[in-house]
Amino acid sequence: MARLMKEWTVDALGAQNLKITERAVPEPGPGEVLVRTTAVSLNFRDKLVLENGMGMPLSFPFVPGSDMAGVVEAVGRDVTRFKAGDRVISVFDPTWIDGQKPGTARHPTSYALGGLNPGVASQYVAFPEDWFVAAPESLDDGEASTLPCAGVTAWFALVEKGHPKAGDRVVVQGTGGVSLFGLQIAKAHGAEVIVTSASPDKLARARALGADHGINRASEDWAERVLEITGDQGADHILEMAGGANLGKSLQAVAVQGRISVIGVFEGAEISAPVTPVLLKSPVIQGIGVAHRRALEDLTAAVDRTGIKPVIDARYPFEQFPAALAHLDRGPFGKVVVEF
């Protein structure tokens, strides 16, 4: 008799449509591994996909989630990268292994899990072996599950593209998952880190985590404060998490020939900014659509080497997946994880 597993699915858009369903545990085909899921980390993107599909032609029933950790239970024919018992984490976009991202100017693509590819809010998944990397030895499964999107996004922006060095000034906007990874990664490279937030409590917690400066963006002009803190030199790197018109503030705060990584859309999907600082400062304004698998492998090695510990605000059991999403909506300090 076939083994049954549980997973969270929706038959139509809307988190209110989430339900636990059962189906047979899949068998790994040639080149595939069967992974028993132990933890799933939630991202703001998961909320958007459930709400509106983010413009993707989703297949229903749809399983949400892109970031997971688990243990390989069985392998199919011709699998060479993993064996039963290995701890693994998922790759956000398994079509992007290294180098240039797949797609064209007319049709840029993202075949991320929990989107155009299946999601991971399941007790078991059977995916091609290329869709996983080895989990860091120094993290538990909940912590490891936070790396495939939030962790590697910050790593790709700051390290892969930004090449930080000791003494650089890095501005991290907010205290969500990407932002706190950015804080820790920047500090690991010897940078001076400035965190912005509307919450005094979260600013205090960010200072305890290693931030050198905290700016309350609700009561201060955060860009002006960055210039004051840096002696008018500005920030060498800015993680732009808000989007919308906030890009203009980032341009005000960035150093001459500094770098702004556009990551978040909390203030809207349409960004706007004056052109004058773009022309006078010649900054690099880069969009960060997570990262390739090789960058994730670099990050896992760095985590074991440096001792970086992901910040988890709350851990929920599998049965409380909707409650975990609601926590995400409230704005966590770090990550929200669902454990199986």
> Sorting pLDDT into bands at 50, 70 and 90, what band is 182?
very high
pLDDT for position 267: 80
Rounded distance between C-alpha atoms, residue 23 and residue 122, angstroms: 10
pLDDT for position 270: 87
Q: What's the rounded mean pLDDT across residues 140-169?
A: 98
pLDDT tops 90 at residue 104: yes
pLDDT for position 173: 98
pLDDT tops 80 at residue 1: no
Interaxial angle between packed helices 293-306 and 177-188, expressed in degrees from 0 to 180 and rounded to the nearest 10: 60
| Distant-in-sequence, close-in-space partners of 32: CB < 8 Å, separation ≥ 6 | 75, 76, 79, 126, 127, 128, 129
Rounded distance between C-alpha atoms, residue 291 and residue 160, angstroms: 9
Of 155, 157, 145, 177, residue with least CA distance to 67: 145
Q: 283-293: per-residue pLDDT in tens?
A: 999 999 999 99
> Sorting pLDDT into bands at 50, 70 and 90, what band is 334?
very high
> Sorting pLDDT into bands at 50, 70 and 90, what band is 124?
very high
Q: What's the rounded mean pLDDT across residues 143-159?
A: 98
pLDDT for position 269: 80
pLDDT tops 80 at residue 316: yes
Rounded distance between C-alpha atoms, residue 150 and residue 277, angstroms: 29
Single pTM value for the model: 0.96
pLDDT for position 268: 75
Q: 86-103: per-residue pLDDT in tens?
A: 999 999 999 999 999 999
Q: 11-24: per-residue pLDDT in tens?
A: 999 999 999 999 99
Rounded distance between C-alpha atoms, residue 2 and residue 24, angstroms: 6
Q: 41-67: per-residue pLDDT in tens?
A: 999 999 999 999 999 999 999 999 999
Give the mean pLDDT of the chain.
Answer: 97
Residue 46 identity (one-letter amino acid): D
